Amino acid sequence: MSILAGRIALITGASQGIGRACALELARAGASVALAASNLDKLNDVASEIAAAGGTAHPFALDVASEESIKDCAKAVIAHFGGVNILVNNAGITRDILALRMKRKDWDDVLTTNLTGAFLMTQAVMSQMVKSRWGRIINVTSVVGETGQAGQANYAASKAGLIGLTKSLARELASRSITVNAVAPGFIETAMTSILTEEQKASFAQSIPLGRVGTDVEVAHAVAFLASEEASYITGHTLDVNGGMFMA
């Protein structure tokens, strides 16, 4: 399948988990993929995996908490590939603790990485999307940005902020045929959740109508759809991939 043939996709946090799955899926759909993260060794592994499957990918160093790094990464990607048609803002961190005990740094680090980083990366590539009058911006938010979660006031606020950013940018960019959407994963099996015991996972699964946790590949399928021409009349939308945990 090559529904994204000729498109250039930039994915942040592409070294593992959902970001890696998105990179593999968009490459499978025909896009050339810019892989951005701080761990170049892992990015090289993902690039090799894509190349072995006949795709095109290149790694780029990125510290999404640094405005300078974001600008340098965007410039390097555009110089290498000639532009960016699809941006997947996936990079994110957690610093979970009850709000009563949360340090200001825990708040600032999460908001800077998860929300400000996504805004700055979007800003760094949107001008050439506007000039080409085509683009797809997809923000990876979370079910907790819609429901809230005890012990995650910083993370939930950052992910809720992404939803607001998505809607605002969708209104600003629609006239240039640029769509802006969000994907909100629920409980997904990733490195972040691998520290949980099987008993904890089973307990979480009981709260999911479909009765199981999701996979990063299922999230990647949603991202690939929103990146495609088939989703050209969808913008400002948050697509829940959560097995029914939250129904808006």
Selecting among 60, 81, 107, 155, the annotated active-site residue is 155
155 is catalytic: yes
Distance CA 48, CA 29 (A): 17
Are the CB atoms for 122 and 140 separated by under 8 Å?
A: no
Are the CB atoms for 50 and 124 separated by under 8 Å?
A: no
Q: What share of the chain is helix, strand, coil (3-state, %, to 5)?
A: 50, 15, 35
Are the CB atoms for 6 and 84 separated by under 8 Å?
A: no
3-state secondary structure of 9: strand
C-alpha angle 13-211-22 in degrees, rounded to nearest 5: 20
β-pairing, 32-37 vs 8-12, is parallel
Which residues share a beta bridge with 182?
Answer: 139, 238
What number of CA atoms fall less than 13 Å from residue 90's CA on the CB side? Answer: 27
Q: Compute φ and ψ for 26, nearest 5 degrees.
A: -70, -35
Q: Which positions are catalytic? A: 155
